[in-house]
Structure 1
């Protein structure tokens, strides 16, 4: 059986003038089918950079990411895009929705790029995240919490093997957070591997593992 996600010794640095800042310093990670891994740590610890490298949206300066046993890192963007479309759902804190499309159309657009069988309808996805009434809204008409839930619906649209999410319960109330966490656990039981960057204790509580980043390294 293939391993959904493996990252081996990831390094990422950024140069400003003559200064180098290491965002990741030898980070490794394996996530099995149906496993939820919560990644915590202070702002600036490398969490979002890690997600970007895992998704193939940013290239590590060293190390390798493999998705479903296929190498993601250090390949052309067209190959990385194809792997993302087939295997990965990505949720960041912004930029998940195209501004000129309704919520419903954002979901349908993502589904056009994948031939995933038995995928949910846009209506079912929006029902699951509790915003069916906002299907026809444009992103600018959504509250912060609604936009986060719409972004999650887009990320789950093709039943991804891997879900990478940055603060999946950000800007929502406690009752809605419980609903979203129940949905994530349900998707994990169906086999989705998840990496959830979070500051929420509730998210960490439902995870199978909690890992902490500081200064680009795992810490105990």
Structure 2
């Protein structure tokens, strides 16, 4: 299932980077092995993919197909045993953890099912914390970031004080704190009602419309509807 990528203007607050000609994300020949005693599991088997700037890509597949492993390797949270990942033209794989963390903080926004908010910090402090990883990078005013996700008046709230939809939007604000080249989201609407899901999807589309790459691991038909391309992963391989 595939549709053409739309031509989208760059919106205010998401200016072009010096390496704007590079894809938001490119992965080549990714392999990942896991060993338990004498048993070996091949979680990724030569996965190659690219996400262009301004494009939303959905990754689907049955449980155990390698989707979470793929996301972790793309984000630099895990190292592939073979192959390489570039984000915004910069290699993130096969580097020391400190260097991967630096690239990830500057170029990758990660939105995981487990959440990305520090419980004892309010929403504004969580966004500030995300920005401390890239000193001198600047960024839009916090009020603008909060306004974008509809939380302008909830910046002083702690995560436990937020409703489910607010929590999802706060996590998205943190993931976008440094205007990353690519946003990687793992089931971002899995626990949300239909109305809230549509609101989160609209925000993800806005991010792509502004020129960022968006990759979403999902089981949701609604996410698939808003994607420019859909990639099916099965047994660690991309199906044609």
How many pairs does the alignment contain? 219
**Distance in 2 (alpha carbons) for counterparts of 1:131 and 1:172:** 17
Counterpart CA distance in 1 for 2:215 and 2:73 is 12
* Secondary structure class of the residue paired with 1:56: coil
Query: In structure 2, what is the Cα distance between the partners aligned to 1:137 and 1:215?
Result: 42
Q: Is the 8 A contact 2:165 2:196 kept in 1?
A: no
Q: Does 1:218 align with 2:238?
A: yes
Alignment pair present for 1:16 and 2:8: no
Aligned to 2:94: 74
Alignment of 1:128 onto 2:148: yes
- Give the root-mean-square deviation of aligned CA atoms: 1.7
Partner residue in 2 for 1:181? 201
5+ unaligned residues in a row in structure 2: which ranges? 1-20
**Counterpart-to-counterpart distance in 1, 2:148 and 2:109:** 16
What is the CA deviation profile of residues 25-67 of structure 1, one whole-angstrom value per residue up to 9, with x for unaligned ones? 1111111111111001112211111111001010001111111
Partner of 1:102: 122
Deviations for 1:123-146, whole angstroms, at most 9, x for unmatched residues? 333333334444223233434443
In structure 2, what is the equivalent of residue 112 of structure 1? 132
SS of the equivalent of 1:33 reads coil
* CA offsets 1:73-127 (integer angstroms, 9 cap, x no match): 110111111111221111101141112211221011112333444x333333333
Q: Give matches, 1:1-220, under 5 Å.
A: 1-114=21-134, 115-117=136-138, 119-220=139-240
d(CA) in 2 for partners of 1:143, 1:49: 29
Give me the whole-angstrom Cα distance separating, in 1, the residues matched to 2:121 and 2:206.
28
Aligned equivalents of 2:225 and 2:109: distance in 1? 22
Query: In the aligned structure 1, how far is the partner of 2:181 from the partner of 2:69?
Result: 21
In structure 1, distance between residues paired with 2:152 and 2:189: 18
TM-score by length of 1: 0.91
Q: Secondary structure at the match of 1:37?
A: strand
Contact 2:75 2:104 in 1 (8 A): yes
Question: Partner of 2:215: helix, strand, or coil?
Answer: strand
1:176-208 CA-to-partner distances (Å, cap 9, x unmatched) read 222222222222122101111111111111111
Sort the Cα spacing of 1:123 and 1:81 in 2 relative to 1 into closer, same or farther, 3 A.
same
